[in-house]
Structures are given as structure tokens and as C-alpha cells.
Structure 1
């Protein structure tokens, strides 16, 4: 019987110091073949998304905005926002800006840049 040599896997973890990088680091523990880890991670993300949406609904009501339709985007955020704007026939997109420096924006991209360059309606970018 031949012995099978196990190749050590090399993984590159790209981080930028953001909370999203922290999540990427935590995801390292989700090794392929451990479906429980993946299931728990998805459940935790779903819970966070639900809590965030509830917070924004409450914030909108406090501001007197009662006819609000929140949409959860799955996948690439910029593309999801553009598609949601097209589906809802939006007249304008308003988005925040994380304020990444030029080098970081070049390396990791920018959702607000993507929206600005792909939208067919006016875009208002709120800077910090």
C-alpha cells in the first residue's frame, strides 16, 4: 500500500485592520469538512443582519421616515445596491463612505466608488 503524502496548505489572509478583517481571521477556524462551523457562522451573520435591520427601522421611525423598505443584499455589496436601486426604480442612491486612503481603496476596493461609477441615477456620498 502506497503512503499518501499530505501537502501542507498555504493560506493567505488579507487584512486591513477593519472589523471585517477580524471576521476573516475568525473564519480561518472554519476548515473545509466542518459543516457545523460554517452553519454556526452563517446563523451568527443572519442574526447580526436581522438586528441591524431592526435598528435601522427604529432609527428611520425616529426621523419620521415611516414608509421604509429595507433590502438585505447578499453577495457583492456595490452590485447588490445597484440592482436594488434598479428593481425599486430609485431616483437617487445615498451611501456612506468609510474614508479609506487611496492605497487601501485601490487594494480592497470601495463600495461607494463602485456605486458611483455604476449607478444610472444620482449618487450622494456622505463622507465622515
Structure 2
């Protein structure tokens, strides 16, 4: 009887830090298994890979300005958010396929990224959550909030924060 794999969740969003974290994860956790699998499905990997994109709600984008008379604005924003989600998931899958990682589940969940990632981790009983790091300073982190910091304190699993190295001049 086959043993069920541990779940690794990788949070993906539309920025270079997120895609770097995905590439880093594939290189460090899936690379050695790519060449051992005869059918290129990574059946020998230690983890089941789940990519999660948190799609904001239109109301969270436009806030209180979206009254009942702004249906067109709401619809336009919802359309744009769906396009962004499709672009993010498509690019993430391209990265996975380029690294010969084909056994991937992709989920788009509506809501705030912090809560979405913690909820998915709990729902899937994930062993590890991987998120990218923007490298914000204290002030930006305080104003904007930090998804990685929130997840490190609230996710019910180990959290790995992958920071893109700065290029030294």
C-alpha cells in the first residue's frame, strides 16, 4: 500500500519574488526526483505540490467607493482580477514544466492572501508552506502587512520564507 505524500503549499502571486520562491523550491525539493521518474510525473518526490494564488475580491480593491451604482467598475475589476489569476497560474505552470515538475495542483482562492494560505494549509494538512519575501522595510511592512510574517505566526505547519538575493554591484 502506497504511503500518502506530505503536502507542500507554495503561495504564488504576480511578482518576481513569488516566482523566484517557486523556482527555488522546485530546484531544492524536486530537482533530484525529476530524473528518476520514468513518466516525468515526479512520483518519487517527497511532497505533493500545491500552488495557491489568492485572488483579491473586487470590494477589497475599491473599498467603500463601490456603491450600488458602480456595477460596471465592480465588473471591470473582477474581470481584471480573473485575468491576473489566469496569468499567474499559467506562468507558475510554465516554470514547473520547464523544470520537469508536472505533478502539480493549482488552486485559485478568493480572499486575503494571509488568510487564504493559512486556510489552505489547514484544509490540506500541509507539512510546509513556502512563500516569497518582498524584502520590505519596517514601515512598508507595517503599512502594507506582510503575508510571510502573518503566515509564519499563524499557519499550522512549518513556513519557509524564500528571499531573492540582492544583486551586488
Structures share fold, TM-score greater than 0.5: yes
Aligned to 2:127, the other structure's residue is in SS state coil
Give the stretch that moved more between structures: 50-59 or 92-101: 50-59
Matches within 5 A, 1:1-128: 33-128=69-164
Specify which structure has the higher proportion of strand: 2
Q: Which runs of 4+ in 1 moved over 4 A?
A: 24-32
What TM-score, normalized by structure 1, do the two folds share?
0.72
CA contact under 8 A between 1:73 and 1:81: conserved in structure 2? no
Who wins on radius of gyration, i.e. which is larger?
1
Aligned to 1:40, the other structure's residue is in SS state helix
C-alpha distance in structure 1 between counterparts of 2:66 and 2:112, whole Å = 21
- Which of 1 and 2 has higher RCO (CA within 8 Å, sep 6+)? 2
What TM-score, normalized by structure 2, do the two folds share?
0.55
- Structure 2: gaps spanning 5 or more residues: 1-59, 165-169
- Structure 1: gaps spanning 5 or more residues: 1-23
Q: Across the two proteins, how many residue pairs are aligned to each other?
A: 105
C-alpha distance in structure 2 between counterparts of 1:25 and 1:83, whole Å = 21
C-alpha distance in structure 1 between counterparts of 2:124 and 2:100, whole Å = 21
CA contact under 8 A between 2:121 and 2:156: conserved in structure 1? no
RMSD of Structure 2 on Structure 1 (CA): 2.4
